[in-house]
Structure 1
Amino acid sequence: MNDEQSTKDAQLEELSFTVMGYISKTPHETFEAVADPEQLSKYFTTGGARGRLEPGAEVTWDFADFPGRFPVEVIESVQDEKIVIAWEGTEHATAKSTTTTFEFSPVDDGTRTLVTVTEKSWKTTVGGAEGAFGNCMGWTGMLAAMKAWVEYGIDLREGFYK
């Protein structure tokens, strides 16, 4: 058995996923579309975002289509490069909180940005898989909505989930 096959056959300790997409804006513009609560509220947090995504800030997100405002902890923020957030996990998480990392990589001499979103901390159970797959769908939708908003001013989320 080769190393690649052995890695693919290894038992998982937790579920994680990564989604990505290209945004035709600079890393700075793309980073700000996520970090700035006013911009994030235009295409993602249908009930509004409060607080800039930077360590120490009091941040909450609210989704009108999934009622309930909840706190978001900012673990790390590197301007135009990376944001790491966490929020309270469920009984299906491997830790007290799930962790999501946004990475912003310049493409085409910085005229475009590859946005990568990675989330981890899900148990390898049916409930953990449902949580991970559901959030994977949510972050993929967020990336598509962000692209439509920052490139064309179109709100894709309105009415999408409800």
Structure 2
Amino acid sequence: MELKFTVSGRIAKPVHEVFEAVADPEKLSGYFTTGGAKGRLETGAVVTWDFHDFPGAFPVNVVEAVPDEKIVLTWGAVPEGEDGESYDTTVTMRFEPLDGNTRTLVTIAEEGWKETETGLESSYGNCEGWTGMLCAMKIYVEHGINLREGFYR
């Protein structure tokens, strides 16, 4: 069984504004990367994301960024055991204008975990994380509220 998932949500803002909420590190830090984001999501960039609930900055490799359409990135999966080999998963974010570009459908898919107990647990954790990111992004972009403020340690 291949470990992968897709989550999606609709945000009542034009596609460019929603895309920028992810690509711009200052905006992303306002609702998702509770410890901050460094670097704009552009093709070929390596940026860092830090989360208070999962300490330590993570390197994020931007494989492809097509403005207002999609972002493809890779980042490290949880290693298998103490001596486990590191490997990356692939995240694809798609941005689709809806209703004359007054709303945007954001779809996030992640794949590439090893088919192990650790891989399964990691995939569920990331599915939860991306779902939370979509909810936080919606309220931040539409209303300027940081939903994650005080939610984690």
TM-score, length of structure 2 as denominator length: 0.92
- Who is 2:72 aligned against? 84
Larger Rg: 1
Q: Which residue of structure 2 aligns with residue 160 of structure 1?
A: 151
Percent of residue pairs bearing the same amino acid type: 63
Tell me the residue number matched to 1:8.
Answer: none
2:54: which partner in 1? 66
TM-score of the two chains, using structure 1 as the length reference: 0.87
Which residue identity lines up with residue 90 of structure 1 in the other structure? V
Q: Aligned equivalents of 1:107 and 1:70: distance in 2?
A: 32
Match of 2:45 in 1: 57
SS state of the match for residue 124, structure 2?
Answer: helix
Contact 1:95 1:121 in 2 (8 A): no
Partner of 1:131: 122
Determine if the alignment matches structure 1 residue 121 to structure 2 residue 109: no
Where do 5+ consecutive residues of structure 2 fail to align? none
Structure 1 Cα separation of the partners of residues 132 and 91 of structure 2: 15
SS of equivalent residue, structure 2 residue 109:
strand
State the partner residue of 2:29: 41
Query: Displacement of 1:64 after TM fit?
Result: 1.9
Tell me which amino acid in the other structure corresponds to 2:48: T
- How many corresponding residue pairs? 150
Question: Structure 1's 95 and 20: CA in aligned 2 closer, same or farther, altered over 3 A?
Answer: farther
Give secondary structure in 2 for the equivalent of 1:122. Answer: coil
